[in-house]
Amino acid sequence: MSMQTAGHPPLTAERVIALLLSRGLLSERLLVEGDVRVEETPGRNHNFRVEVTGGPGYFLKQAPSEDTEDSPLEIEAELYRRVLEEQAWSPLRPMVPAFRLYEAQRAVLVTELARELTGVAGLGDGHSMLGLGRVSGPLARALAVCHDMRPGSGAPDLDFLPREAPGILGITRPHPGVLQYLSPAQLQVIRMIQERPAITAAFDEIRVGWSATCLVHGDVKWPNVLARVDAPSGAPAGVVLFDWELARLGDPAWDVGSVLHGYLTYAVLSAAVPDNACPREAAESIGATLPAFHGELRTFWHTYVESVSASGEGRRPSLGQAIACCAARLVQSGYEWSQEETAVPGRAAAILQLGINMLGRADEAREVVLGGLTEH
């Protein structure tokens, strides 16, 4: 992989245009005669969306200047390049953004805009929450393809990917050096977890049992999922997964658990949770919202099981593993939602308590929270 230079100048709209011109992705004719719009979008990276009338549009991501060699953005760019250029990676082509260039010196990744894609929120039909049910099957099949990318003879080279478990699994034992940067609410979350030995042990079990067996996306959540809609029927024909910065050679249970987490997160956001609710009260307040998601959860899980089984037995995670990873992601959300807060907010408390409950009572979580999902 290439070496990127630290301390690169941040992109501006003018630098975006200059970069695209210099690399032949934008012509002077289109710049003069067409309508070229550059819009900065929020995110951890410096992000720009470029709309070009009469030509392809682009999405640019620039890593923060403090990121150095082997940054997450560099991992993402290398994955996109291999998908575009190497036959062994071709199964992923329908489900990743179209790679155009990565400039290591300025740490800039450029992909082509896919204007025909639709966000999950645009799939709602009055019978499913935000269209999540309509995308459950296509998302399950896409993850099955992703998880079928494994080391072996004739398989794609996955050696450039990191293999370590996600950092949130070390939340029970944070490095002393990071404590000074955490909010009072985040410190409260850590203490809440540390006071429960069974929960600490559950996190340790996930981390120690982490298996680097296949390609995992690492950050599956609804903003990173766009649907390719069939025009005659209006139904999703497939999905494209964005933001592969956390891709790794890892445990497929993490991606599956992340999808379960996505449904439950929306359940929390749909519930009426008072800001001053204690964790237990907040967790109880989301109970009425859960049944609306059970059908969508079953569709996703059963489609995933069928899709992975078709490529060989023993290639999918157990439901228990997926539930444990889902619970860890819920705790992660509670921790992240407490950033810059002096006290844990009501919704953060709700999702945190839900994750703790699921780690401590897996069978009850499968029946009550996840609508009775079964292993097969």
pLDDT confidence tier of residue 127, bands split at 50, 70 and 90: very low
Q: How would CATH label the architecture of 118-369? A: Alpha-Beta Complex (3.90)
> How high is the pLDDT of residue 313?
52
**Rounded Cα gap, residues 240 and 87, in angstroms:** 19
Best mean pLDDT range from 78-82, 278-282, 362-366: 78-82
Same topology for domains 13-112 and 118-369, yes or no? no
Give residue limits of the domains in the chain. Answer: 13-112, 118-369
Higher per-residue confidence, 278 vs 201: 201
* Helix intervals (H) in the chain: 13-22, 28-33, 72-85, 132-147, 184-194, 197-208, 252-270, 279-285, 291-309, 319-336, 346-360, 362-364
Q: Would you say residue 245 has pLDDT above 80?
A: yes
CB count within 10 Å of CB 367 equals: 12
Of 284, 279, 283, the closest CA to residue 344 belongs to 279
Range among 24-38, 56-70, 238-252, 311-325 with highest mean pLDDT value: 238-252
Fold of 13-112: Phosphorylase Kinase; domain 1 (3.30.200)
* Mean pLDDT across the chain: 87
pLDDT at position 65: 75
| Measured CA angle at 58 (ends 54, 64), to 5 deg | 155
Predicted pLDDT of residue 4: 47
What pLDDT sits at residue 230? 80
DSSP string, 61-108: EE--TT--TT-HHHHHHHHHHHHHH-GGGGGGGGGSPEEEEEETTTTE
- Predicted confidence at residue 277, as pLDDT, reads 64
Give the count of alpha carbons within 13 A of 261, CB side only.
27
* Count of helices and strands (H, E) across the chain: 12, 10
Q: Of the ranges 45-54, 328-337, 360-369, which one carries the lowest mean pLDDT score? A: 360-369
How far does the chain reach from its first CA to its final CA, in angstroms? 40
